Amino acid sequence: MMNHALTVGAMMEHAETFFPKKEVISQTHDKIHRLTYKEIGKRTRCLMSALDRLGIKKGDRVGTLAWNTHRHLEIYFAAPGIGAVLHTINIRLTPEHIAYIINHAEDQILFVDEDILPLVDKLQHHLKTVKAYIVMTDKDELPTNNLPNVYSYEDLIMNGNENYEYIKDIDENDPAGMCYTSATTGKPKGVLYSHRAIALHSYALGLADTAALSESDVAMAVVPQFHVNAWGLPFACTWFGSTQVLPGPRFTPERLASFIEDFRVTVTAGVPTIWLGLLKELEQKEYDVSSLRGVLCGGSAAPIGMIRAFEEKHRIPFFHAYGATETTPLATYSRLKSYQQDISEEEKIIEKTRQGILIPGLEMKVVGDEGEIPWDNETMGELLLRGPWIADSYYNDERSEKAFTDGWFHTGDVVTVDEEGTIKIVDRTSDLIKSGGEWISSVELENVLMAHDAVFEACVVAMPDEKWQERPIACVVLHDNYVDKTSKEELLDFLRPQFAKFWIPDDVLFVEEIPKSSVGKFLKRELRRSVLEHYQAESEEI
Amino acid sequence: MMNHALTVGAMMEHAETFFPKKEVISQTHDKIHRLTYKEIGKRTRCLMSALDRLGIKKGDRVGTLAWNTHRHLEIYFAAPGIGAVLHTINIRLTPEHIAYIINHAEDQILFVDEDILPLVDKLQHHLKTVKAYIVMTDKDELPTNNLPNVYSYEDLIMNGNENYEYIKDIDENDPAGMCYTSATTGKPKGVLYSHRAIALHSYALGLADTAALSESDVAMAVVPQFHVNAWGLPFACTWFGSTQVLPGPRFTPERLASFIEDFRVTVTAGVPTIWLGLLKELEQKEYDVSSLRGVLCGGSAAPIGMIRAFEEKHRIPFFHAYGATETTPLATYSRLKSYQQDISEEEKIIEKTRQGILIPGLEMKVVGDEGEIPWDNETMGELLLRGPWIADSYYNDERSEKAFTDGWFHTGDVVTVDEEGTIKIVDRTSDLIKSGGEWISSVELENVLMAHDAVFEACVVAMPDEKWQERPIACVVLHDNYVDKTSKEELLDFLRPQFAKFWIPDDVLFVEEIPKSSVGKFLKRELRRSVLEHYQAESEEI
């Protein structure tokens, strides 16, 4: 067979050639743009020529601080298209971490959305490797700034060469992309994505039994393009010619709902917090969301009440997927097997709370205290993954050793597996509660709590306990209209019939909000610290 | 990213692990077998251990002379599973060619279905490299034969090790499979398929916009397993956990129709001659074929009447695909784009006669006398392909140079391309008729002729012509009830309004049958020779 590399550039070439009329709909600060793949393709080539002229070479890192827009999409292809590495930076990190990431990756150039410019302006003196800044705006004049070597994105496009060629001399194992995990402790850790990994992962997204991304889809990636390549959607959707809807900067649930209605979105992807917001919006106002064939959910486990609301109330099929920054990210996808279709609607909802089965091409192993666990839907173990789109190390990072041993990526996620091979995330290894030698899943407790009418959000953390080693404490945010009307005992009574006695939390604390990471995950370590302080303060008061 | 090879063995491991309950339904000479992937997986491992014990090493060629059965499926995974090369031999070739192929491939071992045993018995003294024969039968006793080192397949399985491990030390570019093209002239030419090519090609078959093979499918490969890996279906269906129906030796249209009804087949694949037979059967007897979501057709262009019969009469979606032995084989797949859905039913049928657009991952170029042709749906050129599942040479064959130049595979197929990038095969470069400096497509004339009620089959060939260089002659097989009731002029009148004057054949010859290759393609070279002889005889008579 031909020695033919899978490359990111070839995906955009495929779209230009076979889907030139299909559109990308993009919300920027000022307006909605509609561009065809023919136009996007030309603009991408112009951008490649500009990067080349600015001295960007094969292997150089190209940073982006940007929202989900067509310009960000163009950089997705232009950077790897000249052999450089697309480095998407999580704009929700602290300024210190952002500076650390840019310096650690040694970004040569930074693309910046106009509203992020003030931040970059402030950070510039800490950035050791950045030689030029490119500002993305619809306005004729760039916003005021004190940066050296600033260029306007649209000027570069306008003066670019629309016939510029994608690099051909490239190994598919060369890096095409890069993303840092928003670690809850310590410095962020970088993961490099190869051309090969991105291409294979895109195939995975197109498979009939996973997301089945298709030319006929109108796909809206709500998950940020700065977060694990928006789960790979921009790559796959381009390759397969799907219409893309990019919701732009600082979107609201209202914008998402309107876009679904206006552009007849068929498939959308994001984290549970986003979907909680969307559900609230759908309660408040009437929208036609009948075009949706799937809401994809990942990042953390969706509570059953949310799934029920999508499936039963709004008749929108809801699909769990699972992955991590280290896994490009899609690793499992939830879809009932053909012979499971006869189960009751209620059982189907319960099945939908699981994260699904492994994507073809990957391998998994689930390991507990005593080696590989049985697939009995009960025993817990850590999920280990390997395969062609699973990272083998962190970029220039000593912490690699711990997560990548014996040829497997140790996800840190604790799962159970049923006899179908379907996994269910029950916790993080670090968040599992060990009480009297038994494991308690904080996530399962949270999910059941969140199914209570009064509960908006719940987070269960471990508190040190002299007798039992650790004991669970539940922190609960109530819906506005339930505040002061719901008691601790009521919630514990709600839990009791559903769990073994030793699982029931020792206490319920009502809080105003749960601290969250930049991508909407509960910051349990932080919460644990405040809960600990709360009890210490209490005991001092006593 | 991990350096993780894509392997054929991993596909069966995926099926064993995640689809152990799903079934393979297999017709052998004696009965219908139903085995789960759990059982098939164990049997495959037993077979691997047997091959190992018989001395088969990494890189050795393992030949099969076999129909579509579960045993053939097991060899599909067992041979590459130990690092050997699955060499499927086309049993419809002449004995001379079969012997040539086995010797050229240096097969170390031959798997033989019981009814093919007499042929092998006769050939044995010509086979220079075969060390052992394995006979596949349901019977306790092997059929009488004079072969040395004969083993019973089921005995080997029974004594095998069901925990035998798939080879891990393998490069994905190593060969996993092999197939010889049934060339119309000269010796057959061999193509090696790498693990990588088979895996990527399987992803392609699972994409929502191609065959969308899925766990929920009941897939029946009618295309022989000895012909380009049954278009890759056995690999993809196993990987994705589809139920497989294997129609076994010497099947009839009646068996195919019954299997569709009995096993609720959802998708089936084969060449036009097979579908002609099936349509005839559906006319004669009532079958419930409502489970079918797709009939896949390739190998040669399906006449529009056939497509109409499937789509309009039987309400079975019909899909053209295109490929060749050298392309693993899937290269294009016919599916309307979303914005083409509004065209009339009649236009849709016409669209369905095209071979579709390029599969993501491949590249194409269409070249005429003056370089790349415009995509105007009219200009003809030869289709050139490249990509990770396109061959770069024939196996140990000097004829490689002609077909594989400048990094492209020259398919020898002449196509037009419309503005959507959809190709339509109009001829073989060797069968195109060049009249007065203009090209005439024999295939287009044939397709229109076959749309005439009286015509069962039509084949148009070039005859040498002093004035015009070449002129088209049509050879026509009439439906039984039209014989002697249909005139040459009637058929030519039927053609006249649809083609330019110079396209109209100079003559129509009524024949009893069109000579066909082992895979059901018209043998135009042979037909041309008889037509030439016919005219020479005629002129001698005069």
**Does B417 reach chain A within 8 Å, measured CB to CB?**
no
Residue pairs spanning A and B at CB distance below 8 A:
156
Q: Given a cut of 80, is residue B437 above it in pLDDT?
A: no
**C-alpha span between A304 and A309 (Å, rounded):** 9
Give φ, ψ of A360 to 5 degrees. Answer: -55, 130
Q: For the ranges A363-377, B35-49, B435-449, which has the lowest average pLDDT? A: B435-449
Q: What is the pLDDT of residues A95-144, one digit of tens each?
A: 999 999 999 999 999 999 999 999 999 999 999 999 999 999 999 999 99
Please name the helix (run of DSSP H) or strand (run of DSSP E) that holds residue A108, with its range, or none.
strand A107-113
Neighbours of B530 (CB within 10 A): 14
CB contact under 8 Å between A208 and B203, yes or no, is no
Q: What is chain A's mean pLDDT, rounded?
A: 94
Q: What is the pLDDT of residues A324-350, one digit of tens each?
A: 999 999 999 999 999 999 999 999 999
SS3 content of chain A, % helix, strand, coil (to 5): 35, 25, 40
> Given the structure tokens 């609230």, which residue do they identify?
A280
**C-alpha span between B315 and B291 (Å, rounded):** 11
> In whole angstroms, how far apart are CA B101 and each of B57, B98, B105, B192?
20, 5, 6, 13
The whole-number average pLDDT for the span A398-409 is 90
Tokens for B475, please give them: 């050879």
DSSP 8-state symbol, A299 = S
| pLDDT attached to residue B224 | 96
Q: Please report how many Cα atoms fall inside a 13 Å half-sphere around the Cα of residue B180, on the Cβ side.
A: 31
* Residues in CB range of A479: below 8 A, 6 or more apart: A453, A454, A455, A456
The whole-number average pLDDT for the span A294-305 is 90
The one catalytic residue among B7, B44, B88, B181: B181
Neighbours of B290 (CB within 10 A): 12
Q: What is the pLDDT of residues B2-38, one digit of tens each?
A: 999 999 999 999 999 999 999 999 999 999 999 999 9
**Measured in whole angstroms, how far is the alpha carbon of residue A511 from the centre of its chain?**
26
Give the angle A206-A395-B7 at the CA atoms, nearest 5°.
40
Neighbours of B18 (CB within 10 A): 21
Percent of chain B with pLDDT over 70: 99
Q: What is the pLDDT of residues B510-533, one digit of tens each?
A: 999 999 877 677 888 889 999 999
| pLDDT attached to residue A185 | 63
| pLDDT attached to residue B468 | 86
Q: What is the pLDDT of residues B40-77, one digit of tens each?
A: 999 999 999 999 999 999 999 999 999 999 999 999 99
DSSP 8-state symbol, A468 = T
Residue of A nearest to B205 (CA): A207
Closest CA to B249 of B95, B37, B92: B92
**C-alpha span between A79 and B133 (Å, rounded):** 55
All residues of chain B having their beta carbon less than 8 Å from the beta carbon of residue A6 are 200, 361, 388
The pLDDT confidence band at residue B542, using thresholds 50, 70 and 90, is low
> In whole angstroms, how far apart are CA A358 and each of A70, A209, A321, A424, B345?
31, 11, 10, 12, 40
| pLDDT attached to residue B217 | 98
| pLDDT attached to residue A129 | 98
CB contact under 8 Å between A208 and B206, yes or no, is yes
Closest CA to A385 of A421, A424, A346, A358: A358
Q: Given a cut of 90, is residue A538 above it in pLDDT?
A: no
CB contact under 8 Å between B18 and A363, yes or no, is no
Highest-confidence range of A157-166, A529-538, B420-429, by mean pLDDT? A157-166
**C-alpha span between B14 and B177 (Å, rounded):** 19
Instruction: Classify burial at A20, counting beta carbons within 10 Å of its beta carbon; exposed 0-12, middle 13-18, buried 19 or more.
Output: middle
SS (H, E, C) B306-336: HHHHHHHHCCCCEEEEEECHHHCCEEEECCC
Query: pTM of this prediction?
Result: 0.91
Q: Given a cut of 90, is residue A540 above it in pLDDT?
A: no
Q: Is A468 a catalytic residue?
A: no
Q: Given a cut of 90, is residue A301 above it in pLDDT?
A: no
Closest CA to A265 of A230, A227, A316: A316
The whole-number average pLDDT for the span A511-537 is 87
Closest CA to A7 of A69, A84, A71: A84
CB contact under 8 Å between B390 and A1, yes or no, is yes
Closest CA to B194 of B324, B323, B85: B85
Q: Is A94 a catalytic residue?
A: no
Percent of chain B with pLDDT over 90: 85
Q: Given a cut of 90, is residue B428 above it in pLDDT?
A: no
The pLDDT confidence band at residue B364, using thresholds 50, 70 and 90, is very high
Instruction: Classify burial at B128, counting beta carbons within 10 Å of its beta carbon; exposed 0-12, middle 13-18, buried 19 or more.
Output: exposed
Closest CA to B348 of B298, B304, B291: B304
> Given the structure tokens 């060449």, which residue do they identify?
B271
Q: Is A521 a catalytic residue?
A: no
All residues of chain A having their beta carbon less than 8 Å from the beta carbon of residue B3 are 173, 392
| pLDDT attached to residue B521 | 79
The whole-number average pLDDT for the span B460-482 is 92
Q: For the ranges A196-205, A503-512, B433-442, which has the lowest average pLDDT? A: B433-442
Q: What is the pLDDT of residues B337-353, one digit of tens each?
A: 999 999 999 999 999 99
Q: What is the DSSP string of B212-237?
A: ---TT-EEEE-S-TTSHHHHTHHHHH
| pLDDT attached to residue B3 | 95
Taking a C-beta distance cutoff of 8 angstroms, is the pair B357, B340 a contact? no
| pLDDT attached to residue B280 | 94
> Given the structure tokens 């016409």, which residue do they identify?
B350
Shortest CB distance from A360 goes to which of B14, B387, B409?
B14
Q: Mind telling me how many Å the CA of B200 is from chain A's nearest CA?
A: 8
- 3-state SS assignment for residue B175: strand
SS (H, E, C) A419-431: CCCCEEEEEECCC
* Residues in CB range of B483: below 8 A, 6 or more apart: B510
Give φ, ψ of A288 to 5 degrees. Answer: -90, 105
Q: What is chain B's mean pLDDT, rounded?
A: 94
**Does A468 reach chain B within 8 Å, measured CB to CB?**
no
Angle, helix B442-450 to helix B488-495, in steps of 10 degrees: 110
The pLDDT confidence band at residue B415, using thresholds 50, 70 and 90, is very high
Closest CA to B327 of B223, B233, B191: B191
Percent of chain A with pLDDT over 90: 85
**C-alpha span between A234 and A224 (Å, rounded):** 11
Span between the terminal Cα atoms of chain B, in Å: 77
The whole-number average pLDDT for the span A498-527 is 88
Q: Given a cut of 80, is residue B494 above it in pLDDT?
A: yes
> Given the structure tokens 């609960």, which residue do they identify?
A476
Q: Mind telling me how many Å the CA of B448 is from chain A's nearest CA?
A: 28
Amino acid at A381: G
All residues of chain A having their beta carbon less than 8 Å from the beta carbon of residue B338 are 215-216
Neighbours of A276 (CB within 10 A): 20
Shortest CB distance from A194 goes to which of B1, B337, B338?
B1
**Does A385 reach chain B within 8 Å, measured CB to CB?**
no
The pLDDT confidence band at residue A184, using thresholds 50, 70 and 90, is low
Q: What is the pLDDT of residues A424-444, one digit of tens each?
A: 998 888 888 888 878 888 988
CB contact under 8 Å between B208 and A387, yes or no, is no
| pLDDT attached to residue A127 | 97
> In whole angstroms, how far apart are CA B326 and each of A10, B29, B410?
22, 31, 10
Please name the helix (run of DSSP H) or strand (run of DSSP E) that holds residue A11, with its range, or none.
helix A8-18
Residue of A nearest to B1 (CA): A391
> What ipTM does the predicted assembly reach?
0.90
All residues of chain B having their beta carbon less than 8 Å from the beta carbon of residue A360 are 11, 14, 202-203, 206, 239-240
**Does B233 reach chain A within 8 Å, measured CB to CB?**
no
**C-alpha span between B193 and A511 (Å, rounded):** 61
Percent of chain A with pLDDT over 70: 99
Per the DSSP assignment, residues forming a β-bridge with B267 are B219, B294
Angle, helix B233-240 to helix B195-206, in steps of 10 degrees: 70
Q: What is the DSSP string of A239-277?
A: HHT-EEEE--TT--HHHHHHHHHHHT--EEEE-HHHHHH
